[in-house]
Amino acid sequence: MGALVDLRHATRLGVLPEGILRTRPQPTVRCVAYGAAMRSPVPLVLAVAAFALTACGSTPDASSTTVASTTADTSPDTSTLATDSSSTTTAADGTIVNTWVGPAADLTTLPIGTPHVSTTGAAVGNLYVCDSGNPNGGGAFKAGPWLDEVAGTWDLTQKVSVQGALDWPMAQYSETVEGDLRVIASNGLPVGNVTGTFPVAADDPAFNYDRNPNTIGESALSVSLPVTPTAGATPTCLSKGAIGVLRNGVALFAPVDERNRDAVAYETQDQCDGHPQQTGVYHYHDIPSCVRDASTGASTVVGFAYDGYPIVAERSANGDLPTNADLDECHGRTSPILLDGEVVTTYHYSATYEFPYFIGCFHGTKVA
């Protein structure tokens, strides 16, 4: 028999609250509708792997498990608002205790990550990318006053955000465990989170530094990831474009702009740290503040990299995120996390305030 784990309502936080997941046996797995009764098909922009929704009325495979779905059904509004072994134990989030080796990051003097971008290999605190970047690429045309390029630091507390607070009620996200695959689909819009107004308006203070002319659009995303990922023999580089997906349905890009500069430090994003690229794909270059700040527990799986490993916002007893000193060259570690309603000891990537923010390289094999 399959087992259905069903969230009836999306949270405003954009993070699926794993602590409330419940499992019950079902004779069949019902068809889950994504969005406004699937009013119209969405063109595939970010097709990462072949994906097909189970048709209503069909009989699913007995190994299929729906772990989460979030839906919405109206139009946007303006709002003010090597093989890794793993062990599993059913337990509460409170059983996870994280202890970090050093002090919390100073948000007023975060290192600018650009000098730590490499095309030759992975290292702790570095970003291993596949190309050397385009020196004439887009992005911020002027360094904002929150950047101290002489000192090589930037002040997160002073950074300008793109204005606006747009809701996207038609946003869609689904995540289904089917045997040894975790099948994820979304339309690229943020479930439960707002975006800024793009293109950036001329009277927006962000326009003085980064004149993003792009418009946010739907971008169908589908990917089938291994439930139990396999570590690669060596770390692999990160390409431009989507390298992961958050559980609010938004694509994750590597934390660099087209020129291979630290995108989080230089580019101006909206209040949730997102912005669109040339074809309208809304994306993040880090674990965005709206998701990170809402993830207050010891372990919150906020998304998945495209090698299948979870991306986790994890905190110590006093609420601090880890720093680079706690993580390996791919910005991850092996420790207990809360995944699919269970405490699992496994490798995962970890959110930080420091560059490279959530991933430094692929620990496993990227899905083709």
Task: Decide if pLDDT at 41 tops 60.
Answer: no
C-alpha–C-alpha distance, residues 348 and 67, integer Å: 19
Task: Decide if pLDDT at 5 tops 50.
Answer: no
Band the pLDDT of 3: cuts 50, 70, 90.
very low
Residue 337 corresponds to which tokens in the numbers above?
A: 């996390």
C-alpha–C-alpha distance, residues 363 and 313, integer Å: 18
13 vs 311: which has the higher pLDDT: 311
Domain edges within the chain: 2-364
CA-to-CA dists, residue 150 to 111, 331, 350, angstroms: 11, 26, 29
The string of pLDDT tens digits covering residues 118-173 is 999 999 999 999 999 999 998 999 999 999 999 999 999 999 999 999 999 999 99
In order, the DSSP letters of 99-118 are: --SSPPP-TTSEEPSGGGEE
Q: Quick one: pLDDT at residue 368? A: 61
Q: What's the rounded mean pLDDT across residues 32-54?
A: 34
| Owner of token pair 């800024």 | 196
Q: What's the rounded mean pLDDT across residues 80-96?
A: 49
24 vs 356: which has the higher pLDDT: 356
Band the pLDDT of 257: cuts 50, 70, 90.
very high
Phi, psi of 19 (to 5 degrees): -65, -15
C-alpha–C-alpha distance, residues 329 and 128, integer Å: 9
| Owner of token pair 């495979």 | 61
- Residues 319-332, buried b or exposed e (16+ Cβ, 10 A)? ebbbbbebbbbbbb
Q: What's the rounded mean pLDDT across residues 53-71?
A: 39
Residue 96 corresponds to which tokens in the numbers above?
A: 């996870």
The string of pLDDT tens digits covering residues 308-355 is 999 999 999 999 999 999 999 999 999 999 999 899 999 999 999 999
Q: Cis check for the bond before 356: say yes or no (omega within 30 of 0).
A: yes
Helices (H), the chain: 263-266, 289-292
What secondary structure letter does DSSP report for 29? P
Band the pLDDT of 81: cuts 50, 70, 90.
very low
- Strands 181-186 and 242-246, bridge-based pairing: unpaired
- Closest to 331 (Cα-Cα) out of 320, 322, 340, 342: 322
Q: What's the rounded mean pLDDT across residues 187-191?
A: 98
C-alpha–C-alpha distance, residues 322 and 352, integer Å: 6
| Owner of token pair 């230089």 | 266
The string of pLDDT tens digits covering residues 259-316 is 999 999 999 999 999 999 999 999 999 999 999 999 999 999 999 999 999 999 999 9
Q: What's the rounded mean pLDDT across residues 15-30?
A: 32
Task: Decide if pLDDT at 195 tops 90.
Answer: yes
C-alpha–C-alpha distance, residues 88 and 195, integer Å: 37
